[in-house]
Chains A and B, each alone.
Chain A
């Protein structure tokens, strides 16, 4: 287990290094920040001073090394626009994105698992067909358009839910959270639902195919022969085996959900990391873009690692393989 973990960690470091280089070079190809940040009226002296302050006068590889050295100390540069540490900017907005993504994932599991179980156990029932058709819709609906339609119905026409912002927040551990206040939850409802739509479809499909594949396996036949009640077979034995792929995929998708909240946040003006990155791309705020990407890469690696570990907890076969 330790060897397995160490090897995975080493791989992770390699990937992070490769990504820093890619991200850095990629972002550097984007326009010239000097043109954008320094007012055209500035004289030559002012310009040069500003360039030096921002570290833009060094050769590219020196800038990369400086960046890497600073990154190791947790310093990913200062935002050109806000003149605040980029990491701090993102950190401030992270709780908003996290609660949105986690909420959407939770909602997807709560809605998707029962529906998928039903569709898998009675594949030919009318209800199952309706559920499957609905899941295709969930996949196909463009998130941003669903968001707009939700705003139109619930905010403009019915006036039930607020259309933008986070609402009232509660501060815990120095971070502001919306999900603990009623007002915050109301603000969260629409973004969370529109973000979770495609995930609901995914959970339904994974659960359904898992049920269908597992119900014909020998262990189910054996459990039936042993005289176990159908409920026990489904909810204890089959359900456990279905949970493995569902947990893996939803874990892997969590990163995707966080990434995709870029769109949802833009629609609902939800002040999270996603909205920050879109704004930063538009004004070419390099340090923020780089910091955001680095964080996302890091997050993905951590998520992959956690999913692998949870795999070995849920499925003893994986543990055996890694020991050999």
Chain B
């Protein structure tokens, strides 16, 4: 209905992209869930019935309550409580904030870093190119989880350290992708024209070359956000990620691990569902974006 309010239907690349994206109902569903999750994380203090960090609001008597029990503070623990009497629903909302900001933050930083190096490699070429690409190969030949594990073993726990580890693990994907498309683009006439006008290299790289390498970068970026969130959760689960004072979803799951064997499933179960929904919805969106932007699949 909103489409009909825009009278001149000029086909712009963006509209073509939106139309292509909307072809898949699953992807739209993914986008809706994804948006809801981001909103829930943003407005967590307004939605959550309890501030899980405020010790004054916690009552140890409410510990390990089953989902649906009414606690001492008067509201229902719809997803149960953990061993400290913390409302799991509130804990998950606040955990989402940490998981999402670590995931998105590291993906953006890695994107900036990787894209710059990729552009440089493609545009300058020669020895710069081979040094950067050897580094990329070295990085990619080593599994992300191990590299991150080692970096965190060196740096220690902490939100910033996790972000640093994720950036180091992820930049190579962006660098490789951007280099690939920049190599093709830099042979085009408009770059030659920009060179002919003797524009500064920085301007050619970021104002002319980079915008034309964006489509694959966006695809990699979306999928890397999901990967980063999953990796952060895994590291936190292993006890090497975020500190206990800033519990992400992974740490919440880890906290419920010991209660699992006694049948108190909800402490681990619901944070896992939240994590799963986040990752799946981002992946669904990323998948469709890739299909729409992939020239080989275009009709």
Chain A: residues with CB nearer than 8 A to chain B?
15, 18, 23, 26-27, 29-30, 133, 136-137, 139-145, 148-149, 151-152, 155-157, 163, 255-256, 259-260, 262-263, 266, 277-278, 281-282, 289, 293, 296-297, 300, 304
Contact = CB atoms under 8 A, between A and B. Distances in A.
A260 B253 CA distance: 18
A289 B26 contact: no
Instruction: Give the residue among A145, A148, A152, A260 with the most B Cβ atoms within 10 A.
Output: A145
Contact of B276 (A26, A27, A141, A297): A141
Nearest to A262: B145
B145 to A, nearest CB: 6
Contact of B284 (A136, A255, A277): A136
A277 B142 CA distance: 16
Nearest to B253: A145
B226 interface: yes
B260 A142 contact: no
B276 A142 contact: yes
B261 A163 contact: yes
Contacts of B268: 145, 148, 152
Contacts of A152: 260, 263, 265, 268-269
Contact of A136 (B141, B237, B263, B280): B280
A151 B256 CA distance: 13
Interface of A is mostly: helix
A262 B149 contact: yes
B280 A289 contact: no
B166 to A, nearest CB: 15
A156 B269 CA distance: 14
Contacts of B284: 136
Contacts of A266: 237-238
B260 A151 contact: yes
Instruction: List the 7 closest A-B pairs by CB distance, nearest first.
Output: A259-B143, A145-B272, A140-B279, A140-B280, A256-B143, A259-B146, A281-B153
A282 B239 contact: yes
A141 B265 CA distance: 17
Given A139-B283, A142-B279, A266-B238, A156 B272 contact: no
B149 A145 contact: no
Given A142-B230, A143-B234, A263-B234, A148 B145 contact: no
B233 interface: yes
A251 to B, nearest CB: 13
30 contacts: A15-B141, A23-B150, A26-B151, A29-B154, A136-B284, A136-B287, A140-B226, A140-B230, A142-B230, A142-B250, A142-B253, A142-B272, A143-B234, A144-B234, A144-B250, A145-B233, A145-B268, A145-B276, A152-B265, A156-B261, A156-B263, A163-B261, A260-B143, A262-B145, A262-B146, A266-B237, A266-B238, A281-B149, A293-B146, A297-B142
B138 interface: yes
B138 A18 contact: yes
Contact of B154 (A30, A149, A156): A30
B272 A148 contact: yes
Contacts of A149: 269, 272
Contact of B150 (A26, A151, A155, A156): A26
B257 interface: yes
Nearest to A155: B261
A163 B154 CA distance: 32
Contacts of A133: 26
A272 to B, nearest CB: 14
Contacts of B151: 26
Contacts of A140: 226, 230, 276, 279-280, 283
B280 A137 contact: yes
A142 B154 contact: no
A144 B265 CA distance: 14
A13 to B, nearest CB: 14
B138 A15 contact: yes
Contact of A300 (B142, B150, B239, B265): B142
Contacts of A293: 146, 150
B275 interface: yes
A264 to B, nearest CB: 11
